[in-house]
Amino acid sequence: MASVSFLQWTSDNRRKLLTSNTSTVDFLSVKVGADSLEMKQTGSGASAYFDFSGRRLGNLADPITSSDGATKNYVDTLVVTGGRVKEGILDPVQLNNTQGIRAAMVWRAANAVPVAGNTVILTDGTNTGTWTFAASETANNPAIGATVQNSMANLANRINLDSAVWGAIYLASSLDDLGVGGCVVVYEKSTAAGLSTSRIYGTFSTPANAQVIAYNGDSEYKTTGKVYANMPSADPAAGRFGFRRQYSALDNGEIHLTLSTDELYTANKDVGVWFTLSAGSVPTATSAGGGGIQGKVSADSNLGLVIVGGVLSVVRRTANTTNIGAALDISASGIGVRTDDTTISADATTGQLKVLDAGITPAKLNTSVAGNGLTGGGGSALTVNPATNGAIAVGASGVSVDFTRSLTNDNAGSITATQVVYIKANGHVDLAIASTANLSTFELGLVSAASIATTAAGAIVVRRGAILSGFTGLTPGLDYAVSRTTAGAIVSRTALSGFLPGEFLYWIGRAISATEILYNPEFEMEY
């Protein structure tokens, strides 16, 4: 690892380079920000760790590898909830405003209509209910239907009528996420803390004709959590219904997707109600498609808006001296610009607008621009007044800009063209070198005059953007800085080296030819 250097902001908001002479920089602790938040090492050796002094880390990305740290959001939404907002459930029938989320599992008849004597048994270890298919319906005897679907619907109906512990609903063609068509969702009518002990078993003359989708333990109702098998003929002894949540254990605002209806539900514990967030697919956002919820739109006729027959329209204001007046023409074909054919007219072929003589006259133009260095010449032409401070000069050939100021030389000897100077506090100049004390606080300049004797005044380039010639051996495209070895000299970026503490890197500009520099001084840093 190379040595590490740091840029420090000094008290006067200047940059200073701090160079380390080792491959690493050791800190006993690091304090950051206005509140001096501290990070330090606690412990030693293999037991050492980063100590954030009781502060939390924020604005972190989600972990990628197994050893990455995890954010609270990641834990809440992924580890706890299986990667969704919250767990999916089978059907809205599981949601209850006082019970919370009721445990459930799936039963289905497959392949053939049940026969007389086939049984379905529900138990939780304390309560047990048995339903036996028969030719006609009686208590605990669902009727054998003409189709498999009829038979399942009849079983769901009898469970609802006969049991105080369990309820059921027949779904004709849903739960695609579980890979099943028609089925019966059997659910507990009340919830309790802990895992559900409810399960389904029974006897069918052909075991494959009765199937269950079970959830071993507190498992989410989705494909990866299901156990899809033939209905067991004996009591499996352990609960096979999926997760349940008492209302008191729900997070306020948690969201669940129902697999049967593709709806989102959220728990509002403040009022004790489950709210529907969506109703299946999102409708087209048009009034005809029912996609928008109609609200109120206000239109101010004073501002040219009216509502007629439920349609928002723009109207032309025909008499208004403070706004658009009669400038807009509104018709069934659109909005256009009205012209008076005196000051503004529209071309009959192209439709483009043009200003007529009555609109803008030389006299009007002259009156508008006169002053601030501009005067009208006979009401039709404009001239520029020469500036009094020497920055802009007007001659027969045009306008030129003077980038120099006349400044006094404070150096003990003469200074000559292309040398770098700095403007001192007294307004005079002296030759600049990188070791000049507090060089970063001074403005630089380039000598423009051929020579300026000591205590005499002469032209110094001080305005950015000037192009100064007279140099030799420059490399076009390279930046040049104040030399650290020769007062008044410049050095290219590629030749910079050997800076010592207390010296300054101060750029002069960039070479645009072997003899010219585009003057653009910029302080870089203090060493």
Give per-residue pLDDT as tens, 478-515: 999 999 999 999 999 989 888 898 899 999 999 999 99
pLDDT-above-70 percentage for the chain: 72
Q: Is the pLDDT of residue 393 over 70?
A: no
Conformational region of residue 395, where left means phi above 0, alpha means psi within -120 to 50, and beta covers everything else: beta
Strand 504-511 to strand 516-526: parallel, antiparallel, or no bridges (unpaired)? antiparallel
Q: How far apart are CA 66 and CA 2, in angstroms?
A: 31
Of 154-163, 257-266, 419-428, the poorest mean pLDDT is in 257-266
**In this predicted structure, what is the pLDDT of residue 325?**
45
Give me the phi and psi of 457, to 5 degrees please.
-110, 150
Q: What's the pLDDT at 380?
A: 43
Residues 488 and 342: their CA atoms lie apart, in Å, by: 67
Q: Say how far apart CA 251 and CA 269 lie, in whole Å.
A: 8
- Specify the pLDDT at position 25: 53
Contact 69, 60 (CB under 8 A): yes
Contact assessment for residue 193 and residue 166, using Cβ atoms and an 8 Å cutoff? no
pLDDT of residue 85: 67
Largest alpha-carbon pair distance within the chain?
126
123 is written with which tokens?
């138990």
pLDDT, position 370: 54
CA–CA separation, 274 and 100 (whole Å) = 9
Overall residue count recorded for the chain in this entry: 527
**Contact at 8 Å (CB) between 94 and 101?**
yes
Match 């200073």 to its residue by tokens: 16
Distances (CA, A) of 183 to 112, 143, 208, 213, 221: 14, 16, 15, 10, 15
pLDDT band, residue 174 (cuts 50/70/90) = low
| pLDDT(344) > 90 | no
Q: Is the pLDDT of residue 41 over 50?
A: yes
Q: What pLDDT, on a 0 to 100 scale, did the predictor assign at position 478?
A: 93
Q: How would residue 84 be classed by pLDDT, with cut points 50, 70 and 90?
A: very low
CA of residue 130 relative to chain centroid, distance: 57
The whole-number pLDDT of residue 323 equals: 46
Q: Please check whether residue 214 is in contact with residue 186, taking contact to mean a CB–CB distance below 8 angstroms.
A: no
User: Which tokens hold the place of 214?
Assistant: 């079970």
Q: What percent of the chain has pLDDT over 90?
A: 42
List, as own/partner pairs, every contact residues 226-232 make where C-beta atoms lie below 8 angstroms and the sequence separation is at least 24, other chains included: 226/178, 228/178, 228/179, 231/107, 231/120, 231/200, 231/201, 231/202, 231/204, 231/207, 232/201
pLDDT digits 0-9 by tens, 429-465: 999 999 999 999 999 999 999 999 999 999 999 999 9
- 8 A C-beta contact, residue 204 and residue 210: yes
Among 199-203, 243-247, 357-361, 399-403, which range has the highest average pLDDT? 199-203
Q: To which H or E segment does residue 50 belong?
A: strand 49-51
What are the DSSP calls for 133-169, one per residue? -BSS-BTTBPBPPSSHHHHHHHHHHHHHHH-SSEEEE
195 or 3, which is more confident? 195
- Report the distance separating Cα 447 and Cα 518, nearest Å: 14
